[in-house]
Amino acid sequence: MRKCNVWIERIEFLSCITSRALAQIALLGFLALPAWPQQTSTDLTTKSLEDLMNVQVTSVSKSEQTLSRTASAIFVITAEDISRSGATNIPDLLRMVPGMDVAQINANTWAISARGLNGEFSNELLVLVDGRTVYLPTFGGVFWDVLDMPLEDIERIEVIRGPGGTIWGANAVNGVVNIITKKAADTHGGLIVAGGGTLDQGFATTQYGGTLGKDTDYRVYSKYFNQAQLPGLDGQNGGDGWHLLSGGFRVDSNLSPKDMLTIQGSMYAGREGNPNLTLQSVTSPGPQEVDPGVDLSGGFLQLAWNHTFSARSDTSLQISYDEFKRPDVLDEGRYTLNLDFQHHFSWGQRQSILWGLGYRYSSSHTHGDLSISLNPADLNTQIGSSFIQDEIALSPDRLYLTLGTKLEHDYYTGFVLLPSARLTWQPNSHQMFWAAISRAARTPASLDTAERLNFGGFVGPDGTPVLIGLVGNPHFKNEDLTAYEAGTRITALKRLSIDVAAFYGGYTHQGTVEPAPPVFETTPAPPHLFIPSILENLMHGESQGLEIAANWKVTDRWTLSPGYALEQIHMHLDPSSQDTTSVSAAEGSSPVNSAQLRSHFIFPHNLAWDTSAYFVGSLNDPKIPSYTRVDTGLTWHYREGLSISLVGQNLVRDEHLEFIESTGAATSTLIKRSAYAKFTWRF
């Protein structure tokens, strides 16, 4: 009872301080001077293709550098891409990235990975928002349903395919997704977005931004959507409809000519359907229905302080606090405190050095039930890390070598070293070549080490109940990857740019499911025989592939952006393994071939037509046929600040299946054809 009271008090405290902050900022904003019109970021389609080589990115080295200096397979989704996509959520935005496998399981659940190994919790993809990780140490993945914010506030999404462990640490194995939001100064004025349709039955965003004095900018927003359920595989109601309400703020303040302080936060609450999920109980070997709905709640507060010593030296400190409550079958509540410090400085004329320290404290409280539980149910963990990276100009403006490593101490496996070496060569302003070798690791999640999952049962010949389940392994190891990558970025014919990346990765200590000796249990009643399987690290393998993205300005009014990805994964069991499912699951959970084609056409009279086509190859485990998704939308800019959009999604087939979660953690429904209308007013 005392733990429950502490948990309730903590939630009330977070709710209180965040609610007061939102109310005060909103009040001050409306009492401030008249709002400025909302500013928009530069449209990259108006730039020359040579200028695109100089687009700034930060996710590869944690400091700004141009694409021409970036030795990584990185794709940037710009604010313009977002506004034209017709997408209403972040998972659908990621479909445009070659090498990203995005599959919708049901209305509120996705499987998203980079370079294969896909699943509801793709544990080798690290996801961040403004540098704050949203990767969950319980499941080893991301709750994409609550990763929600006004898409109009996203400046860009930087997607790295391949390791990013040297900078971001463990779990940045096959990719990093860094969502970077706009500064408050770029969102002055009011914003109202409203719409609805056949699937997205209703959605709305209200936002206001302005200034507090001459050195502080702010914005405050609220967002809501309500999505209908999708049809189940049997044709019945899938029961996966959901709704979510969120609100948040951001304040940017120039404390001095050398100091910038950013404070931001948000809260959310909602409820989503849990479609026809059934789990096993030891007291009744048959399936047991679970609560058909799950309440969602959570929020975060984040502070970032940037200090500039000189043009050659600067530091940043980021502190964040996250908390959520999710009363599903595991019924977890978690809060996390994270601190990150980094210092960047130039050494001499040819070296740029970045080093940093990190600390994370996370406390988890679970209840579980007879179907799934953790032992221990409550766990407090700490992670400490340090990194250093040195960019060396071997030939200024032509040849750069970047060496770095990160040392991280994890609760389960102790110290892990994550080194990398990257080389870029830019012979001229029209082309660059890069190569990289790096090591990354996926540290164990709580489910890997402490899970007890009962997934089947029957009555034995002598009348003794028999339960079949899976147990975690406290000695589960890190899953490692050594990756070799190379690529090129070329601008040709003044209207065509091409980005190509090739990779080979060697995986070791991959997870397997091994049989364990039966044990007789007396609790919970009735007494029963338990036949367990246990998680081990008895699989290894390799992956290789090719990713191509292009941008072709056919005319001044028409732009085409094609992309293609090829990937093959081959896994092998160690001689001592008796696993029968992990190899096929790893090899068959992602398509070998995928492709996309995006078209943007500007008609006279402020009318724009955007169409995106995505081809996804077949999956082998479980068997799912290939499919093609087509989204299209017309946007009419009636006048400055006012636009109307009509969008159709999944137009090829009325219903199709995208993914089946092999673990049974989520029930699949059929993705349905839909359409919606949206009204946007900026003032």
Q: Each residue of 504-558: pLDDT tens digit?
A: 999 999 999 999 999 999 888 889 999 999 999 999 999 999 999 999 999 999 9
CA dist 199 → 92, 227, 231, 241, 554 (Å):
14, 6, 11, 9, 34
In a domain, 131, yes or no: yes
**Which residues, in sequence order, are CB contacts of 460 under 8 Å at separation 6+?**
466, 529
Number of other CB atoms surrounding residue 109 within 10 Å: 25
**pLDDT value at 60 more than 90:** no
Q: How many angstroms separate the CA atoms of 424 and 434, rounded?
A: 4
Task: Choose from 10-24, 194-208, 281-295 the range with maximum mean pLDDT.
Answer: 194-208
Nearest C-alpha neighbor of 314 from the set 63, 491, 57, 51: 63
* Strand (E) or helix (H) holding 523: none
Q: How many angstroms separate the CA atoms of 365 and 189, rounded?
A: 41
Q: How many angstroms separate the CA atoms of 379 and 311, rounded?
A: 44
Cα Rg, the chain, nearest whole Å: 25
CA dist 245 → 221, 272, 293, 371 (Å):
11, 12, 16, 30
Which amino acid, one-letter code, is at 604?
P
In a domain, 283, yes or no: no
**pLDDT value at 665 more than 70:** yes
Q: How many angstroms separate the CA atoms of 460 and 447, rounded?
A: 29
Q: How many angstroms separate the CA atoms of 304 and 67, rounded?
A: 25
Which amino acid, one-letter code, is at 432?
M
In sign, the C-alpha dihedral spanning 283, 285, 291, 296 is positive
Residues 176, 22 contacting (CB under 8 angstroms): no
* Strand (E) or helix (H) holding 19: helix 2-31
Tokens of 557: 């009014």
Enumerate the β-bridge partners of residue 386: 357, 407
Considering its fold, how many domains does the chain have in total?
1
What is the total residue count of the chain? 683
Lowest mean pLDDT among 297-301, 458-462, 545-549, 608-612: 458-462
Q: Each residue of 459-482: pLDDT tens digit?
A: 889 889 899 999 999 999 999 999
Tokens of 457: 């049962």
In a domain, 278, yes or no: no
In a domain, 555, yes or no: yes
Q: Each residue of 282-291: pLDDT tens digit?
A: 555 455 555 6
In a domain, 116, yes or no: yes
Q: How confident is the model at residue 84 (pLDDT cuts 50, 70, 90)?
A: very high
Question: Residue 240's Cα: distance from chain center in Å?
Answer: 21
Q: What is the pLDDT of residue 362?
A: 98
Tell me the CA end-to-end span of the chain in Å, nearest whole number: 50
Q: Are strands 189-197 and 200-212 parallel, antiparallel or unpaired?
A: antiparallel
In a domain, 276, yes or no: no
Q: What is the pTM of this model?
A: 0.91
Nearest C-alpha neighbor of 158 from the set 249, 44, 252, 73: 73
In a domain, 273, yes or no: no
Tokens of 318: 């980021």
Domain span at residue 576 reads 2-256+297-682
Question: Residue 571's Cα: distance from chain center in Å?
Answer: 25
In a domain, 94, yes or no: yes
Output b/e per residue, 504-523; b: 16+ Cβ within 10 A. ebebbbbbbbbebeeeeeee
- Asked if omega into 526 is within 30° of 0 (cis), the reply is yes
Q: What is the pLDDT of residue 283?
A: 53
Q: How many angstroms separate the CA atoms of 580 and 287, rounded?
A: 24
Residues 337, 358 contacting (CB under 8 angstroms): no
Q: What is the rounded average pLDDT of the residues 561-583? A: 97
**Mean pLDDT score across all residues of the chain:** 90
Tokens of 266: 């948000």
Q: What is the pLDDT of residue 30?
A: 31
- Phi, psi (5° rounding) for residue 603? -85, 165
**pLDDT value at 192 more than 50:** yes
Tokens of 242: 């959901």
Write the CATH number for 87: 2.40.170.20
Enumerate the β-bridge partners of residue 630: 613
Question: Residue 83's Cα: distance from chain center in Å?
Answer: 19
Q: What is the rounded average pLDDT of the residues 257-274? A: 96
